[in-house]
Amino acid sequence: MERTLVILKPSAIQRALAGEVIRRFERKGLKLCAIKMMQLSDELIQQHYAHLVDRPFFPRIKESMQATPVIVCCWEGIEAVQVVRDLAGTTNGRKAAPGSIRGDFGVSVQENIIHASDTVENAAIELNRFFGADEIFDYQQSALNFIYASDEL
């Protein structure tokens, strides 16, 4: 099973979409292993967006991500990184497919509702950035045999 990070951005918080976004991941069959609300510090934003710090639009990203607290989640499932990215839709909400989170709720590149890890390797790094080992829970998902076929587990 893979684990991946999802951040419900201030655009999701301000628009009261947190429950709807979480519901979509749950209905898909992903297991919620961790969740918390937090205000992102300058240091955490610079770490998370280190690849963009020198870009001219970084101040806009920082301002947007600090507008309200965010909700960070760890989701688990088979190929969870790709499943979450498919549910999220493309980064630009105007171009995201209807039915995806960004396609249904976003019309912006920045104010696009969620962040989702892009690779298994980055998911591990990002989860360690936002959660301590004691904050991610491993438990038996009772419906597991009704989410996956026995030969998939």
**Gap between the Cα atoms of 77 and 73, Å rounded:** 13
Which pLDDT score is estimated for 27?
A: 98
Give the DSSP letter string of 4-45: EEEEE-HHHHHTT-HHHHHHHHHHHTPEEEEEEEEPPPHHHH
Reported as a single tens digit per residue, the pLDDT across 57-98 is: 999 999 999 999 999 999 999 999 999 999 999 999 999 999
Those residues of the chain that have pLDDT short of 70 are none
Which pLDDT score is estimated for 76?
A: 98
Is 51 labeled as catalytic in the residue annotation?
Answer: no
Domain ranges of the chain: 2-136
Structure tokens at 148: 């996956």
Beta bridge partners of 31: 76
Of the residues 115, 116, 117, 130, only one is catalytic, namely: 115
* Architecture per CATH, 2-136: 2-Layer Sandwich (3.30)
Which pLDDT score is estimated for 45?
A: 97
